[in-house]
Chain A
Amino acid sequence: MGNTRKRLRWVAPGVVLGIGSLVLSACGSSSPAQSTGSSSAPVVLQFWNTYNQTDTEASTIAKVVIPAFEKSHPGIKVVSDVYPTTETEMYSKLLASINAGDPPDIVRADISWVPGLAQEGALVPLSKDMSDFSSLSASVYPGTLAPNEWQGVYYGLPVDTNTQCLFWNKADFQAADLSGPPTTMSQLLSDAQKLTDPAKKQWGLGVDGTDLWNLLPYVWSAGGQVTNSSYTTASGYLDGTASVGELTALGNLFSNGEIGSDILGGTGVLTGEEGFPTGKYAMYIDGPWAVSTFSGGKPSLTYNKQYGIAQMPAGPGGSVSVIGGEDIVVPSGSKHAAAAEEFVQYMLSPTVQQEMAAAGQMSVLKDAGSFETKLQAYYAPFAEQLAQAQARPPVPNYAKIDSDVSNAISAALHHQGTMQQELDAVTPQVNQLLSGS
């Protein structure tokens, strides 16, 4: 017994150290694909994205797009890592991986991320690195290319695009004796009043929050701006007459109960995507994905039968909407940048763009109209609107600017001050953020 205890005294530490070293060695080992280093081993590209898994986007990438690439590029394997939660979550994971020196090789990034990542030196400058960048960039809509530029260099290429159009409920319009969707901004405001029916809990217009994505189409169409064209100041633009006037008009509609409380944002309110299919919101602006969302929630709801999709009503600024979508970028820490660039090039090929358009992602190619409208009739109004859509300010501090402006507008809607007072107060903050501090 005594001997056993004595032996245990020295065996146990050995076991502890053994387990410890096993754990440490397991932590330190890299994946087989990275550790082999053999020239015959395939290059494995990690492709981070947020493709939708509830429809066919993610499965098209995994089952059609990637296998075709791997077939035409022997020696390269692509692993699609889908982040099913939010883009913000993927962005924070991306930053963590960049900091750890082990980023993915390719990222399908929201267009608003690129300037910030480029400023940090986290992205490969594709316009310098890719020999065919000029031809690729010439093939896409100029508006979709713009958000990839930072200080004269392009750090990404657009891979899919979208914009917002005006959805209008035909039955609600008929009941209000309105023959069709509004074509001017003033008509939009008066139609919202006519379409509101408190007895039916029906609002004339649904607006999904005070953030710039939701409000810029109204501001731009009314002739307003957030900043000057070189994104150096917001003074005279965000707090200018046109921007304040349009936002005040929307605020008045909200105060009168003609816009639903979804404009206040947050959880627990009827969103446009829930309220439009049920006729609670007679008008609502949204992107092409809303069509499948509506039919998913209510299969009998069909484009051009129960509802129409119109261009943003025109104001002094024209009929202007906002460009959304994603870019494809290569993090500068990628261990396989050359292979990643081949995949980037492939993603912009007409074949892939057509496959993804069939899965619900609008193409960035200028000549996409030839195949898109054959695939989905509802792409037509969005393709038309894209020609007059603008990008949100492509500046590194965009997220903070968006939050500050959104809070100022929200404060005005909560009567903490007038719209003019709130926007006057936030404009110096925006100027400071535009200056990079």
Chain B
Amino acid sequence: MLPRVRGALAFGQRPLPYLFILPGVAFYLIFTIYPVLRQAEMSFQHWQPVPGTPTPFVGLSNYARALHDPVVRTAAINSLLYTLVTVPTQMLLGLAAANLLHRRLPGRWIWRTLIYLPVVTSWVIASYVFAYLFNTDEGLVNAVLSALAGHAVTIDWLQNTWTSFAVIWLLAVWKGIGWSMVMFLAGLTALDRSVVESGQVDGARGWRLWWHIILPGIRPTTIFVFVMLVIGSLQAFLSIFLLTSGGPYNSTQVLLTYTYQVAFSFFDFGYAAALATMLGVALFLLSAAEIRLLRERKAA
């Protein structure tokens, strides 16, 4: 911990640091805090975009409406499902890749690059590539399945609920493994080798070594990866928006795609603001709980 210098940062004596951070703070206040507060205000209004048009205060009615909206229920379940499927899968596969590539394998940097490449690929490009792969009539996947089956296979991947989910989840996992791998690689590299070696001397091998030595050793990394992936998964938007737009019949909507549709297709801004605020509050509480968990673990 850095020693605290009493009065060293008092504005009157040392204005320079404050003035240097001023643009950043101003930017943050204008482009993050103000929109968040404005959105919260809009969520209590029947908000109209035209200046001068009355935007009546409607109390909690936008929130009450959300609680009775069947699409919100579907979207919330789908968001949770997305998290439940993609987060553990990314973590497991990321850890497995990190474990393999932590060793001195020939050409491991090539493998690391290949696995990390999807992370830096744009969501838009990746989504369009997946849309092509799973195209009913001209897609590679149906072509391969047709070749294997010996007859034409025409699965409407993106027109049915569960096949759409499969494609969306696959894209999320494919795109996310690399990030988990890099985080776990850092965790494994930082692990005290002497502890691992002591365990090995004491006879720990295989899963015992992992369960009792390595996993507890990389617990902060694991919790950090978990927290970030959960937050990211609940904010999933682009892939679903581009692959299914929430269809068919709203069955693949997640909270953000539905909020976007309410705002920018139905132009029901007050209701969309309420949905966004609810999601924001839920994410804030979830993140706070996870960070608290992380701190408790560290303290333990």
Instruction: Specify which of B20, B52, B159, B265 is in contact with A268 (CB 8 Å cutoff).
Output: B159
* Contact call A92/B264, Cβ cutoff below 8 A: yes
* Contact call A266/B15, Cβ cutoff below 8 A: no
Which residues of B33-83 are within 8 A (CB) of A?
A: 48-53
Stretch in B91-99, B131-139, B200-208, B210-218 touching the partner? B131-139
Which residues of B218-275 are within 8 A (CB) of A?
A: 242-245, 247-250, 261, 264-268
The closest CB in chain A to the CB of B21 belongs to A16
Q: Does A410 contact B (CB under 8 A)?
A: yes
Stretch in B117-125, B150-158, B188-196, B291-299 touching the partner? B150-158
Cβ of A19: which chain B residues have Cβ within 8 Å of it? 23
Distance (Å) between the CB of B114 and the closest chain A CB? Answer: 26
Complex Cα spacing A399 to B22, Å = 44
Q: Does B19 contact A (CB under 8 A)?
A: yes
Cβ of A91: which chain B residues have Cβ within 8 Å of it? 264, 267
The closest CB in chain A to the CB of B261 belongs to A403
Complex Cα spacing A388 to B158, Å = 36
Q: Does A176 contact B (CB under 8 A)?
A: no
Q: Does A43 contact B (CB under 8 A)?
A: no
The closest CB in chain A to the CB of B131 belongs to A267
Q: Does B160 contact A (CB under 8 A)?
A: yes
* Contact call A270/B137, Cβ cutoff below 8 A: yes
**Number of inter-chain CB pairs below 8 Å:** 115
Q: Does B16 contact A (CB under 8 A)?
A: yes
- Given contact pairs A17-B19, A399-B266, A410 touches B49 in the complex (Cβ within 8 A): no
- Given contact pairs A266-B159, A410-B247, A410-B249, A16 touches B22 in the complex (Cβ within 8 A): yes
The closest CB in chain A to the CB of B139 belongs to A268
Instruction: Specify which of A12, A16, A98, A267 is in contact with B242 (CB 8 Å cutoff).
Output: A267
Cβ of B243: which chain A residues have Cβ within 8 Å of it? 267-268
Q: How many residues of A contact B (CB 8 A)?
A: 41
The closest CB in chain B to the CB of A9 belongs to B16
* Contact call B156/A269, Cβ cutoff below 8 A: yes
Query: A395-418, CB under 8 A of B: which get 1 and which 0?
Result: 001011001000110110010100
Stretch in A114-122, A231-239, A357-365 touching the partner? A114-122
- Given contact pairs A333-B51, A399-B265, A269 touches B136 in the complex (Cβ within 8 A): yes
Distance (Å) between the CB of A217 and the closest chain B CB? Answer: 22
Cβ of A95: which chain B residues have Cβ within 8 Å of it? 49, 267
Q: Does A265 contact B (CB under 8 A)?
A: yes
Q: Does A101 contact B (CB under 8 A)?
A: yes
Q: How large is the interface on B (under 10, 10 to 19, 20 to 34, 35 or more residues)?
A: 35 or more
* Contact call A120/B248, Cβ cutoff below 8 A: no
Distance (Å) between the CB of A255 and the closest chain B CB? Answer: 13
Cβ of B250: which chain A residues have Cβ within 8 Å of it? 407
Distance (Å) between the CB of B74 and the closest chain A CB? Answer: 11
Distance (Å) between the CB of B246 and the closest chain A CB? Answer: 9
Instruction: Specify which of A16, A101, A120, A332 is in contact with B23 (CB 8 Å cutoff).
Output: A16
Distance (Å) between the CB of B101 and the closest chain A CB? Answer: 34
Cβ of A332: which chain B residues have Cβ within 8 Å of it? 50
Interface centre among B15, B158, B249 (most CB of A within 10 A): B249
Q: Does A351 contact B (CB under 8 A)?
A: no
* Contact call B50/A12, Cβ cutoff below 8 A: no
Instruction: Specify which of A13, A88, A268, A400 is in contact with B15 (CB 8 Å cutoff).
Output: A13
* Contact call B248/A266, Cβ cutoff below 8 A: yes
* Contact call B249/A120, Cβ cutoff below 8 A: no
* Contact call A20/B53, Cβ cutoff below 8 A: no
Distance (Å) between the CB of A418 and the closest chain B CB? Answer: 14
Cβ of B265: which chain A residues have Cβ within 8 Å of it? 88, 399-400, 403
Cβ of A73: which chain B residues have Cβ within 8 Å of it? none
Instruction: Specify which of A92, A99, A264 is in contact with B159 (CB 8 Å cutoff).
Output: A264
Instruction: Specify which of A13, A88, A333, A414 is in contact with B248 (CB 8 Å cutoff).
Output: A414
Distance (Å) between the CB of A202 and the closest chain B CB? Answer: 12
- Given contact pairs A12-B16, A268-B134, A400-B266, A261 touches B51 in the complex (Cβ within 8 A): no
Query: A268-311, CB under 8 A of B: which get 1 and which 0?
Result: 11100000000010000000000000000000000000000000
- 7 chain-A/chain-B pairs, Cβ below 8 angstroms: A99-B50, A99-B51, A120-B50, A120-B53, A266-B158, A267-B131, A268-B136
Q: Which residues of A contact B (CB under 8 A)?
A: 9, 12-13, 16-17, 19-20, 88, 91-92, 95-96, 98-99, 101, 116, 120-122, 201, 261, 264-270, 280, 332-333, 397, 399-400, 403, 407-408, 410-411, 414, 416
Nearest 5 pairs of A and B residues by beta carbon: A264-B159, A268-B158, A13-B19, A411-B249, A407-B249
